[in-house]
Amino acid sequence: MENNIGPDRAERFASQIQDQGYSRHSIKQYRTTAEALLTAMLKANLGPADLTEDRMDQLMVPIIDAASVKDKKYCRYRINRFWDYLIENAGAPPRSDPPRDMSPRACLKREYETYLRVQRGLSEDTIYHCLRFYDRFLTAKFGAGLGDLNTIRPDDITGFILWLRKEQNAPRDKTGPSHLRNLFQFLFWSGKTERNLSNAVPKARQPKPTGIPRYLEPEEVNRLIEVVRNHEKTGRRNYAMLMLIARLGLRAPEVTAIELDDIDWRAGEILIRGKRQLHDRMPLPVEVGEAIVDYIKNERRGPDRALFVSAKPPFKKFKDAQILRWILRDAYDATGISPPQAYIGTHILRHSLATDMLRKGASLAEIGDVLRHRSAMTTTIYAQYDVDALRSISRPWPTSGDAQ
């Protein structure tokens, strides 16, 4: 623990920033900002132990005011980073927790969050979106506060969904209705409403599949995968990520969820963190393993335990899986391949793998195992015109004695 103020403190802080992989220019800015705060502390005869939140507000205002208009936001961020450093290393008092919102709406939201996590066992990503729709619907109905929940009527729900679809221009989006059903099931379950309004949420009309999902030919998939390797800074990472989808049929969120410890190199297996918190172990093909090793050895940086991390300091894991959609979009542009559907998503690689397996004689049961479908019926979309493939997952007709 450091106790005195010295010019070396800014240098040590800058070294920490350097270890996180920041550029020389950024390191210099962090050092300069730290030195400015230390100078202000010396003039005010303050030590780290005196850095209460009120004192810090007084010290940082002149420093931020002196920064350029373009740099003011980043200057505040750098000061806060140095403040955290002083808390961890120099005995500065910790920041106080922000006052907890005890309004009825905020209390209900925390109760709803606990229900989603404990009772329903939903993923953090799903919980985040459920809470967003909690706020959006209640704001549409009651404004900023919380009114009588029993005054919610089916017309309120229908009107909200119609407005939502008009705003988002997505008439067949089923996520909004799904999140609202979770909300109304919670309100009824917890006794907040007298009726279960989840039954009043209209369903999004989904067209029935009329054939095998759209897909890419194997040579097109290979071209898309290969072209991403050309990127100077992220080529190895992007190539390894797309290989996991194209060769193992992973979903995009499953790729970004992989951690370094999930790979058993001796056994040649990889742990997949799938939907509904289900985990599966899958064999790791040699070409996929080699791509991951190449990325880890030659491109990956930072201490984060996630396998795939951002190329920018401080090299953190991705907040969501949108990065893969952007990678595939750029690959289409680079190769000139026309996407087989308007929405550019990585699920097309998963469909392409299944279609290629079907063409090569794989049974539906085998395809379902690779794609980790929990229901055999999910896999039947790949064999609507292949009766022999459908027989591979059919069950024997129930019999009683000699009767059939």
Active site amino acids: 251, 275, 347, 350, 373, 382
Q: How far is CA 258 from the centre of its chain?
A: 12
CA distance 142 to 86: 44
The position carrying tokens 């680079």 is 334
The position carrying tokens 């927790």 is 97
Question: What's the burial of 152, exposed, middle or buried (CB within 10 Å: 0-12/13-18/19+)?
Answer: buried
Question: What's the burial of 121, exposed, middle or buried (CB within 10 Å: 0-12/13-18/19+)?
Answer: exposed
**Rg of the chain's alpha carbons, rounded to an integer?**
27
The position carrying tokens 């963190």 is 273
Cα 231–237–239 angle (5° rounding)? 75
Whole-angstrom CA distances from 228 to 216, 237, 313 are 17, 9, 21
Decide: 27 and 313 in contact? Cβ < 8 Å.
no
CA distance 283 to 267: 8
Strand order across the 279-283 sheet:
263-264, 269-273, 279-283
DSSP states of 56-112: HHHHHHHHHHHS-TTTHHHHHHHHHHHHHHHHHHS-PPPPPPPPP--SHHHHHHHHH
CA distance 346 to 325: 6
